[in-house]
Structure 1
Amino acid sequence: MLSIISALLFAITEEYLFRGIILGSFLRQFNFSMFTSVIFCSLLFGMTHLMNLTYQSLTLTVGQILSATALGIIFCCIYLRTRSLLWPIGLHFVVDVSAGASSLAKGTYNIPVSPYYSIIPLLLSVCLMLFLLRKSKQSQIKTSFRQN
């Protein structure tokens, strides 16, 4: 039960910080392009996993950084298209609970040992970003963010 509550708290706080505040700031205050904003926000999200070096190997940590960056891209795109933090919070919660359940079942965290296994999801996330934030959708998204 504690792991479910923790996953929910992490999902809410991380999504509010990274998608709500940081991504919004890149778009509004810094006037970055949509793709630049998504990439920077996602890289920052991924880099927060560097703190895991205090208790695990560099290889595992790099894999987590790449995986978190890929997820960050997806969360950003969902937020930009829906204009609601509820969807990325829900997905983030499901990912965290799934990872926690897998780690309990296996006794280890469910991330591939080699960071190379995380490159394919990262590339797929970039492709998804290019589709979800395609030129025909950008003006609608920009209008939504400029109104606030």
Structure 2
Amino acid sequence: MWTSIACSILFGLYHLNNLTSQSLISTVGQVIITLGMGLFLSYLRVWSNGLIWCMVVHFLQDFSPKILSTDYGTSKIKLAILGVIPVVILMLICIYTINRRFLKIK
């Protein structure tokens, strides 16, 4: 669980490099979204015991026309934060539950 959280945070923070090409607000929104996405991808990895679903979801997310054309500007940052918080909480619960079940099996 802690590895998933740490990797998700690093995945989100990696997107700070976009500060060179976009505003601070847009970059913060992107960091928050990618943190939640990292947790979701961690959940998929544990659930499927493979990387294929993670790659498919990441591909679909990256090439979504909405994502390609959306700027998480000032007006949308609150909505992005409110949308990601429940996802982050749900993914942490899922990762914790799967991790607990896995440890019981071993």
Shift of 1:110: 1.2
Alignment counterpart, residue 57 of structure 1, candidates 12, 23, 40: 23
Structure whose alpha-carbon radius of gyration is higher: 1
What are structure 1's unaligned runs of at least 5 residues? 1-33
Q: Which residue of 1 aligns with 2:38?
A: 72
Aligned length: 104
Higher relative contact order (CA 8 A, sep 6+): 2
1:88 match: 54
Runs of 4+ residues over 3 Å off in structure 1: 139-144
* CA separation of 1:110 and 1:51: change in aligned 2, threshold 3 A: same
> Do the aligned partners of residues 85 and 103 (structure 1) sit closer, same or farther apart at CA in structure 2, a change above 3 Å counting?
closer
Structure 2 CA distance for partners of 1:89 and 1:143, relative to 1, 3 Å: farther
Q: State the TM-score, normalized to the length of structure 1.
A: 0.61
Would the aligned equivalents of 1:70 and 1:122 in 2 still touch at CA under 8 Å?
yes
The residue that corresponds to 1:117 in the other structure is: 79
Percent sequence identity over aligned pairs: 31
Q: How far apart are residue 142 of structure 1 and its match?
A: 4.5
Structure 2 unaligned segments of length 5 or more: list them: none
TM-score by length of 2: 0.81
Give secondary structure in 1 for the equivalent of 2:63.
helix
Which whole-Å deviations, capped at 9, do the CAs of 1:44-70 have from their partners, x for residues lacking one? 000111110111111110000001101
RMSD of aligned Cα (Å): 2.3
2:39 touches 2:92 (CA, 8 Å); kept in 1?
Answer: no
**1:103/1:41 CA distance change after superposition, 3 Å:** closer
